[in-house]
Amino acid sequence: MGELHARPFFPAETPRRFLHVAFLTSPAEAQAERAMVTELCHSRGVPGPAPGAKYHRVSFGGATLRWESHAEFSTYTWDMPSGEAVPGQLPFHPAAALLASPLTQLPQPGPLLVAVDLDLVMDTMEDAQIGGVFDRASLARSDVNDGRAEIATDFKPDPAGFVRILVRDRALGAEAAGALVQRVLEIETYRTLALLGLPEAQKLAPTISKIEARLAQVTEEMTRSVGLSDNHRLLDELVALAAELEADTAPSLFRFGASRAYQEIVRLRLATIQEEAVQGYPTWQQFLDRRMAPAMRTCQSVEERQGNIAAKLVRGADLLRTRVDVELERQNRDLLASMNDRTRLQLRLQRTVEGLSVAAISYYVASLIHLMAEGIHESGVDAKFGVHINPGAVTAVAVPVAVLAVWWVVRRVRSAHGEHD
Protein backbone atom coordinates (compact mmCIF):
# COMPACT_ATOMS: atom_id res chain seq x y z
CA MET A 1 0.00 0.00 0.00
CA GLY A 2 2.85 2.35 0.76
CA GLU A 3 4.39 1.77 -2.66
CA LEU A 4 1.12 2.70 -4.38
CA HIS A 5 1.20 6.14 -2.75
CA ALA A 6 4.97 6.65 -2.57
CA ARG A 7 5.24 9.34 -5.27
CA PRO A 8 1.98 11.30 -5.53
CA PHE A 9 1.35 14.20 -7.89
CA PHE A 10 1.28 17.70 -6.37
CA PRO A 11 -0.58 20.68 -7.81
CA ALA A 12 1.43 23.33 -9.63
CA GLU A 13 0.09 26.85 -10.04
CA THR A 14 1.14 28.37 -13.36
CA PRO A 15 3.64 29.99 -13.75
CA ARG A 16 6.25 27.85 -12.00
CA ARG A 17 9.89 26.93 -12.54
CA PHE A 18 11.36 23.48 -11.89
CA LEU A 19 15.02 22.49 -11.68
CA HIS A 20 15.39 18.72 -11.71
CA VAL A 21 18.59 16.68 -11.34
CA ALA A 22 19.27 12.94 -11.11
CA PHE A 23 22.36 11.12 -9.81
CA LEU A 24 23.47 7.54 -10.25
CA THR A 25 23.83 5.88 -6.85
CA SER A 26 25.08 2.59 -5.50
CA PRO A 27 23.38 0.98 -2.45
CA ALA A 28 26.12 2.32 -0.16
CA GLU A 29 25.84 5.81 -1.68
CA ALA A 30 22.06 5.71 -1.28
CA GLN A 31 22.43 5.09 2.47
CA ALA A 32 24.88 7.96 2.83
CA GLU A 33 22.61 10.18 0.72
CA ARG A 34 19.63 9.60 3.04
CA ALA A 35 21.73 10.70 6.00
CA MET A 36 22.85 13.85 4.13
CA VAL A 37 19.28 14.75 3.16
CA THR A 38 18.20 14.29 6.77
CA GLU A 39 21.05 16.52 7.94
CA LEU A 40 20.13 19.19 5.36
CA CYS A 41 16.50 19.20 6.52
CA HIS A 42 17.44 19.40 10.20
CA SER A 43 19.82 22.28 9.49
CA ARG A 44 16.82 24.19 8.05
CA GLY A 45 14.60 23.30 10.99
CA VAL A 46 12.29 21.00 9.03
CA PRO A 47 11.71 17.25 9.49
CA GLY A 48 13.79 14.85 7.43
CA PRO A 49 12.67 11.70 5.63
CA ALA A 50 11.27 8.88 7.75
CA PRO A 51 13.49 5.80 8.24
CA GLY A 52 13.22 3.61 5.14
CA ALA A 53 11.33 6.26 3.16
CA LYS A 54 12.16 6.58 -0.55
CA TYR A 55 10.43 9.92 -1.01
CA HIS A 56 10.44 13.22 0.86
CA ARG A 57 8.99 16.63 0.13
CA VAL A 58 9.86 19.69 2.15
CA SER A 59 9.57 23.49 1.76
CA PHE A 60 12.58 25.77 2.10
CA GLY A 61 11.33 29.37 2.10
CA GLY A 62 9.58 30.01 -1.17
CA ALA A 63 10.81 26.82 -2.86
CA THR A 64 9.89 23.18 -2.40
CA LEU A 65 12.37 20.31 -2.60
CA ARG A 66 11.21 16.89 -3.71
CA TRP A 67 13.67 14.01 -3.14
CA GLU A 68 13.15 10.50 -4.51
CA SER A 69 15.35 7.42 -4.12
CA HIS A 70 15.19 4.70 -6.79
CA ALA A 71 16.98 1.40 -7.39
CA GLU A 72 20.10 2.87 -9.01
CA PHE A 73 19.52 6.61 -9.01
CA SER A 74 18.03 9.44 -6.98
CA THR A 75 16.35 12.67 -8.06
CA TYR A 76 16.02 16.19 -6.60
CA THR A 77 13.40 18.60 -7.92
CA TRP A 78 13.27 22.24 -6.90
CA ASP A 79 9.81 23.75 -7.41
CA MET A 80 9.95 27.54 -7.28
CA PRO A 81 7.79 30.46 -8.44
CA SER A 82 8.66 32.15 -11.71
CA GLY A 83 9.51 35.81 -11.89
CA GLU A 84 6.99 38.34 -13.00
CA ALA A 85 6.09 37.93 -16.64
CA VAL A 86 7.27 40.74 -18.92
CA PRO A 87 5.61 41.18 -22.32
CA GLY A 88 7.88 39.89 -25.07
CA GLN A 89 10.26 38.26 -22.62
CA LEU A 90 11.51 34.83 -23.59
CA PRO A 91 10.88 31.88 -21.27
CA PHE A 92 13.58 30.47 -18.99
CA HIS A 93 14.29 33.87 -17.52
CA PRO A 94 16.32 34.22 -15.40
CA ALA A 95 18.71 31.55 -16.65
CA ALA A 96 19.01 28.28 -14.77
CA ALA A 97 22.60 29.10 -13.80
CA LEU A 98 21.29 32.01 -11.71
CA LEU A 99 18.64 29.86 -10.03
CA ALA A 100 20.85 26.87 -9.36
CA SER A 101 22.38 28.13 -6.11
CA PRO A 102 20.00 25.95 -4.01
CA LEU A 103 21.36 22.92 -5.87
CA THR A 104 24.78 23.52 -4.33
CA GLN A 105 23.26 22.78 -0.93
CA LEU A 106 22.29 19.27 -2.04
CA PRO A 107 24.54 16.29 -1.45
CA GLN A 108 25.92 14.78 -4.64
CA PRO A 109 25.83 11.04 -3.94
CA GLY A 110 27.10 9.96 -7.35
CA PRO A 111 27.67 11.03 -10.96
CA LEU A 112 25.24 13.64 -12.30
CA LEU A 113 23.12 12.03 -15.02
CA VAL A 114 20.18 14.37 -15.68
CA ALA A 115 19.71 18.13 -15.36
CA VAL A 116 16.42 19.66 -16.50
CA ASP A 117 15.15 23.23 -16.47
CA LEU A 118 11.36 23.15 -16.91
CA ASP A 119 9.37 26.37 -17.29
CA LEU A 120 5.60 26.13 -16.79
CA VAL A 121 4.06 29.24 -18.38
CA MET A 122 0.70 30.44 -19.58
CA ASP A 123 0.20 30.06 -23.30
CA THR A 124 0.55 33.69 -24.28
CA MET A 125 3.78 33.74 -26.31
CA GLU A 126 4.12 33.57 -30.06
CA ASP A 127 5.68 30.59 -31.83
CA ALA A 128 8.52 32.84 -32.96
CA GLN A 129 9.56 33.26 -29.33
CA ILE A 130 9.87 29.48 -28.95
CA GLY A 131 12.24 29.44 -31.92
CA GLY A 132 14.42 31.93 -30.07
CA VAL A 133 14.88 29.49 -27.19
CA PHE A 134 15.31 26.11 -28.88
CA ASP A 135 17.30 24.70 -31.80
CA ARG A 136 14.80 24.48 -34.64
CA ALA A 137 16.59 21.46 -36.19
CA SER A 138 15.84 19.22 -33.20
CA LEU A 139 12.79 20.91 -31.71
CA ALA A 140 9.95 18.53 -30.75
CA ARG A 141 6.51 19.95 -29.92
CA SER A 142 3.26 18.29 -28.96
CA ASP A 143 -0.19 19.24 -27.81
CA VAL A 144 -1.02 17.10 -24.77
CA ASN A 145 -3.88 16.44 -22.36
CA ASP A 146 -6.49 16.84 -25.11
CA GLY A 147 -4.96 20.11 -26.26
CA ARG A 148 -5.02 21.77 -22.85
CA ALA A 149 -1.23 22.19 -22.89
CA GLU A 150 1.78 22.07 -25.14
CA ILE A 151 5.24 20.69 -24.40
CA ALA A 152 8.40 21.61 -26.30
CA THR A 153 12.10 20.79 -26.07
CA ASP A 154 15.13 20.28 -28.26
CA PHE A 155 16.73 17.74 -25.84
CA LYS A 156 19.93 19.82 -25.86
CA PRO A 157 21.72 21.20 -22.78
CA ASP A 158 21.99 24.95 -22.36
CA PRO A 159 25.32 26.60 -21.45
CA ALA A 160 24.76 25.64 -17.79
CA GLY A 161 24.13 21.97 -18.72
CA PHE A 162 20.34 21.94 -18.27
CA VAL A 163 17.98 20.48 -20.88
CA ARG A 164 15.20 23.02 -21.32
CA ILE A 165 11.55 21.92 -21.41
CA LEU A 166 8.75 24.39 -21.99
CA VAL A 167 5.21 23.59 -20.85
CA ARG A 168 2.55 26.02 -22.12
CA ASP A 169 -0.57 25.90 -19.98
CA ARG A 170 -3.81 26.56 -21.85
CA ALA A 171 -6.46 25.20 -19.51
CA LEU A 172 -4.81 22.61 -17.29
CA GLY A 173 -5.63 23.52 -13.75
CA ALA A 174 -3.23 23.05 -10.85
CA GLU A 175 -3.75 19.31 -10.41
CA ALA A 176 -3.34 18.43 -14.09
CA ALA A 177 -0.37 20.81 -14.40
CA GLY A 178 1.42 19.10 -11.50
CA ALA A 179 0.80 15.65 -12.98
CA LEU A 180 1.98 16.73 -16.45
CA VAL A 181 5.16 18.31 -15.07
CA GLN A 182 6.07 15.18 -13.16
CA ARG A 183 5.44 12.92 -16.16
CA VAL A 184 7.51 15.13 -18.46
CA LEU A 185 10.40 15.15 -15.99
CA GLU A 186 10.17 11.36 -15.75
CA ILE A 187 10.28 11.03 -19.55
CA GLU A 188 13.55 12.95 -19.72
CA THR A 189 15.02 11.09 -16.72
CA TYR A 190 14.14 7.60 -17.89
CA ARG A 191 15.10 8.42 -21.48
CA THR A 192 18.62 9.18 -20.32
CA LEU A 193 18.74 6.13 -18.06
CA ALA A 194 17.62 3.86 -20.90
CA LEU A 195 20.55 5.03 -23.02
CA LEU A 196 23.06 3.86 -20.40
CA GLY A 197 22.91 0.49 -22.14
CA LEU A 198 24.41 1.92 -25.35
CA PRO A 199 27.98 2.47 -24.04
CA GLU A 200 27.87 -1.05 -22.57
CA ALA A 201 26.77 -2.47 -25.93
CA GLN A 202 29.47 -0.52 -27.78
CA LYS A 203 32.09 -1.78 -25.34
CA LEU A 204 31.00 -5.41 -25.71
CA ALA A 205 30.62 -5.44 -29.51
CA PRO A 206 34.35 -5.89 -30.36
CA THR A 207 34.74 -8.73 -27.85
CA ILE A 208 31.64 -10.48 -29.18
CA SER A 209 32.91 -10.14 -32.76
CA LYS A 210 36.25 -11.66 -31.73
CA ILE A 211 34.53 -14.59 -29.99
CA GLU A 212 32.26 -15.13 -33.01
CA ALA A 213 35.24 -15.24 -35.37
CA ARG A 214 37.19 -17.64 -33.17
CA LEU A 215 34.11 -19.84 -32.70
CA ALA A 216 33.78 -20.12 -36.47
CA GLN A 217 37.44 -21.16 -36.72
CA VAL A 218 37.09 -23.76 -33.96
CA THR A 219 33.96 -25.16 -35.60
CA GLU A 220 35.82 -25.51 -38.88
CA GLU A 221 38.77 -27.16 -37.14
CA MET A 222 36.37 -29.66 -35.57
CA THR A 223 35.62 -31.07 -39.01
CA ARG A 224 39.33 -31.88 -39.48
CA SER A 225 40.35 -32.83 -35.95
CA VAL A 226 41.63 -36.37 -35.44
CA GLY A 227 42.51 -38.03 -32.18
CA LEU A 228 41.91 -37.34 -28.55
CA SER A 229 44.58 -34.65 -28.19
CA ASP A 230 43.10 -32.46 -30.95
CA ASN A 231 39.59 -32.76 -29.53
CA HIS A 232 40.84 -31.97 -26.03
CA ARG A 233 42.61 -28.86 -27.32
CA LEU A 234 39.51 -27.62 -29.14
CA LEU A 235 37.32 -28.35 -26.11
CA ASP A 236 39.65 -26.35 -23.86
CA GLU A 237 39.48 -23.45 -26.31
CA LEU A 238 35.66 -23.53 -26.38
CA VAL A 239 35.56 -23.54 -22.59
CA ALA A 240 37.91 -20.53 -22.53
CA LEU A 241 35.70 -18.66 -25.02
CA ALA A 242 32.59 -19.48 -22.97
CA ALA A 243 34.27 -18.19 -19.80
CA GLU A 244 35.30 -14.96 -21.55
CA LEU A 245 31.76 -14.46 -22.87
CA GLU A 246 30.21 -15.16 -19.47
CA ALA A 247 32.53 -12.67 -17.78
CA ASP A 248 31.15 -9.94 -20.08
CA THR A 249 27.56 -11.17 -20.11
CA ALA A 250 26.99 -11.30 -16.34
CA PRO A 251 27.54 -7.53 -15.70
CA SER A 252 25.62 -6.51 -18.84
CA LEU A 253 22.47 -8.51 -17.99
CA PHE A 254 21.32 -5.91 -15.46
CA ARG A 255 22.22 -2.97 -17.68
CA PHE A 256 20.33 -4.24 -20.73
CA GLY A 257 17.37 -5.37 -18.62
CA ALA A 258 17.22 -1.95 -16.95
CA SER A 259 17.38 -0.20 -20.33
CA ARG A 260 14.38 -2.19 -21.54
CA ALA A 261 12.46 -1.34 -18.38
CA TYR A 262 13.29 2.38 -18.63
CA GLN A 263 12.32 2.43 -22.30
CA GLU A 264 8.97 0.89 -21.40
CA ILE A 265 8.40 3.57 -18.73
CA VAL A 266 9.12 6.29 -21.31
CA ARG A 267 6.64 4.67 -23.70
CA LEU A 268 3.95 4.50 -21.01
CA ARG A 269 4.47 8.13 -19.94
CA LEU A 270 4.23 9.31 -23.55
CA ALA A 271 1.04 7.31 -24.00
CA THR A 272 -0.42 8.83 -20.83
CA ILE A 273 0.05 12.46 -21.86
CA GLN A 274 -1.76 11.77 -25.18
CA GLU A 275 0.43 13.61 -27.65
CA GLU A 276 -1.01 15.33 -30.71
CA ALA A 277 1.26 16.64 -33.44
CA VAL A 278 1.94 20.35 -33.89
CA GLN A 279 2.11 21.10 -37.60
CA GLY A 280 5.67 21.25 -38.87
CA TYR A 281 7.23 19.62 -35.81
CA PRO A 282 7.77 16.04 -34.67
CA THR A 283 6.11 14.86 -31.50
CA TRP A 284 8.26 13.70 -28.62
CA GLN A 285 7.36 10.11 -29.49
CA GLN A 286 8.42 10.56 -33.10
CA PHE A 287 11.64 12.31 -32.13
CA LEU A 288 12.62 9.63 -29.62
CA ASP A 289 11.69 6.82 -31.99
CA ARG A 290 14.03 8.28 -34.58
CA ARG A 291 16.91 9.18 -32.25
CA MET A 292 16.58 6.71 -29.39
CA ALA A 293 15.24 3.55 -31.03
CA PRO A 294 18.49 2.78 -32.96
CA ALA A 295 20.45 2.87 -29.71
CA MET A 296 17.98 0.53 -28.03
CA ARG A 297 18.09 -1.81 -31.03
CA THR A 298 21.88 -1.86 -30.71
CA CYS A 299 21.55 -2.97 -27.08
CA GLN A 300 18.99 -5.60 -28.08
CA SER A 301 21.22 -6.84 -30.91
CA VAL A 302 24.25 -7.20 -28.62
CA GLU A 303 22.16 -9.03 -26.02
CA GLU A 304 20.80 -11.41 -28.66
CA ARG A 305 24.29 -12.02 -30.04
CA GLN A 306 25.47 -12.90 -26.54
CA GLY A 307 22.66 -15.42 -26.17
CA ASN A 308 23.22 -16.93 -29.62
CA ILE A 309 26.98 -17.29 -29.12
CA ALA A 310 26.45 -18.85 -25.69
CA ALA A 311 24.07 -21.42 -27.21
CA LYS A 312 26.55 -22.19 -30.03
CA LEU A 313 29.38 -22.59 -27.55
CA VAL A 314 27.29 -25.03 -25.53
CA ARG A 315 26.42 -27.05 -28.64
CA GLY A 316 30.03 -27.09 -29.81
CA ALA A 317 31.29 -28.13 -26.39
CA ASP A 318 28.66 -30.89 -26.20
CA LEU A 319 29.70 -32.16 -29.62
CA LEU A 320 33.36 -32.19 -28.67
CA ARG A 321 32.62 -33.91 -25.36
CA THR A 322 30.72 -36.56 -27.29
CA ARG A 323 33.67 -37.06 -29.63
CA VAL A 324 36.06 -37.21 -26.68
CA ASP A 325 33.82 -39.75 -24.93
CA VAL A 326 33.63 -41.87 -28.07
CA GLU A 327 37.39 -41.68 -28.49
CA LEU A 328 37.89 -42.68 -24.86
CA GLU A 329 35.49 -45.59 -25.27
CA ARG A 330 37.40 -46.70 -28.35
CA GLN A 331 40.66 -46.52 -26.45
CA ASN A 332 39.11 -48.42 -23.54
CA ARG A 333 37.86 -51.08 -25.96
CA ASP A 334 41.34 -51.43 -27.47
CA LEU A 335 42.86 -51.57 -24.01
CA LEU A 336 40.44 -54.27 -22.92
CA ALA A 337 41.15 -56.25 -26.09
CA SER A 338 44.87 -55.95 -25.45
CA MET A 339 44.36 -57.06 -21.85
CA ASN A 340 42.37 -60.06 -23.08
CA ASP A 341 45.18 -61.00 -25.45
CA ARG A 342 47.76 -60.72 -22.69
CA THR A 343 45.57 -62.77 -20.35
CA ARG A 344 45.15 -65.42 -23.01
CA LEU A 345 48.93 -65.57 -23.55
CA GLN A 346 49.50 -65.72 -19.82
CA LEU A 347 47.04 -68.61 -19.59
CA ARG A 348 48.83 -70.49 -22.36
CA LEU A 349 52.17 -69.84 -20.72
CA GLN A 350 50.76 -70.98 -17.39
CA ARG A 351 49.52 -74.22 -18.90
CA THR A 352 52.87 -74.78 -20.58
CA VAL A 353 54.63 -74.18 -17.29
CA GLU A 354 52.21 -76.53 -15.56
CA GLY A 355 53.00 -79.28 -18.12
CA LEU A 356 56.74 -78.73 -17.71
CA SER A 357 56.30 -78.72 -13.96
CA VAL A 358 54.43 -82.05 -14.07
CA ALA A 359 57.18 -83.55 -16.27
CA ALA A 360 59.97 -82.23 -14.06
CA ILE A 361 58.37 -83.35 -10.80
CA SER A 362 57.50 -86.73 -12.32
CA TYR A 363 61.12 -87.09 -13.46
CA TYR A 364 62.38 -86.40 -9.96
CA VAL A 365 59.84 -88.78 -8.39
CA ALA A 366 60.76 -91.54 -10.90
CA SER A 367 64.45 -90.92 -10.25
CA LEU A 368 63.91 -91.25 -6.52
CA ILE A 369 62.04 -94.53 -7.02
CA HIS A 370 64.79 -95.78 -9.36
CA LEU A 371 67.48 -94.90 -6.82
CA MET A 372 65.50 -96.59 -4.05
CA ALA A 373 64.99 -99.76 -6.18
CA GLU A 374 68.69 -99.91 -7.05
CA GLY A 375 69.62 -99.49 -3.45
CA ILE A 376 67.36 -102.33 -2.34
CA HIS A 377 68.57 -104.58 -5.18
CA GLU A 378 72.26 -103.96 -4.64
CA SER A 379 72.02 -104.36 -0.87
CA GLY A 380 70.46 -107.81 -1.32
CA VAL A 381 67.52 -106.98 0.86
CA ASP A 382 65.17 -108.27 -1.83
CA ALA A 383 66.98 -111.66 -1.92
CA LYS A 384 66.53 -112.11 1.84
CA PHE A 385 62.79 -111.95 1.30
CA GLY A 386 62.97 -114.20 -1.75
CA VAL A 387 62.04 -111.33 -4.12
CA HIS A 388 64.00 -110.23 -7.15
CA ILE A 389 63.68 -106.47 -7.87
CA ASN A 390 64.59 -105.18 -11.30
CA PRO A 391 65.29 -101.42 -10.93
CA GLY A 392 64.54 -100.69 -14.60
CA ALA A 393 61.19 -102.44 -14.47
CA VAL A 394 60.26 -100.70 -11.20
CA THR A 395 61.20 -97.32 -12.72
CA ALA A 396 59.20 -98.04 -15.89
CA VAL A 397 56.13 -98.86 -13.83
CA ALA A 398 56.65 -95.86 -11.56
CA VAL A 399 56.88 -93.29 -14.35
CA PRO A 400 53.20 -93.29 -15.47
CA VAL A 401 52.04 -93.59 -11.87
CA ALA A 402 54.21 -90.62 -10.88
CA VAL A 403 53.02 -88.55 -13.85
CA LEU A 404 49.36 -89.22 -13.08
CA ALA A 405 49.86 -88.57 -9.37
CA VAL A 406 51.71 -85.25 -9.95
CA TRP A 407 49.18 -84.12 -12.57
CA TRP A 408 46.33 -84.89 -10.20
CA VAL A 409 47.98 -82.99 -7.34
CA VAL A 410 48.63 -79.95 -9.59
CA ARG A 411 45.00 -79.92 -10.75
CA ARG A 412 43.80 -80.09 -7.17
CA VAL A 413 46.04 -77.21 -6.19
CA ARG A 414 44.85 -75.10 -9.12
CA SER A 415 41.22 -75.95 -8.42
CA ALA A 416 41.67 -75.06 -4.77
CA HIS A 417 43.14 -71.64 -5.70
CA GLY A 418 40.33 -71.05 -8.15
CA GLU A 419 37.65 -71.80 -5.54
CA HIS A 420 39.49 -69.59 -3.06
CA ASP A 421 39.53 -66.64 -5.52
pLDDT tens, residue order, the chain (421 aa): 666 566 678 888 888 999 999 999 988 888 888 888 888 888 888 888 888 788 888 887 778 889 998 889 999 999 988 866 565 667 888 888 888 777 777 778 889 999 999 999 988 776 666 777 888 888 999 999 988 999 999 999 988 899 999 999 998 889 999 999 999 999 999 999 999 999 999 999 998 889 888 888 888 887 777 777 777 788 888 888 888 888 888 878 888 999 999 999 999 999 999 999 988 899 999 999 888 889 999 999 998 988 888 888 888 888 878 877 777 788 788 888 888 888 888 877 776 776 777 777 877 887 888 788 777 777 766 666 666 677 777 778 777 887 788 778 877 777 776 644 4
pLDDT of 421: 43
pLDDT of 263: 93
Rounded to two decimals, the pTM is: 0.73
User: What is the 3-class SS of the chain, one letter each residue?
Assistant: CCHHHCCCCCCCCCCEEEEEEEEECCHHHHHHHHHHHHHHHHHCCCCCCCCCCCEEEEEECCEEEEEEECCCEEEEEEEEECCCCCCCCCCCCCCHHHHCHHHHHCCCCCCEEEEEEEEEEECCCCHHHHHCCCCHHHCEEEEECCCCEEEEEEEEECCCCCEEEEEEECCCCHHHHHHHHHHHHHHHHHHHHHCCHHHHHHHHHHHHHHHHHHHHHHHHHHCCCCCHHHHHHHHHHHHHHHHHHHHHHHHHHHHHHHHHHHHHHHHHHHHHHCCEECCCCCCHHHHHHHHCHHHHHHHHHHHHHHHHHHHHHHHHHHHHHHHHHHHHHHHHHHHHHHHHHHHHHHHHHHHHHHHHHHHHHHHHHHHHHHHHHHHHHHHCHHHHCCCCCCHHHHHHHHHHHHHHHHHHHHHHHHHHHHHHC
pLDDT of 420: 46
pLDDT of 267: 93
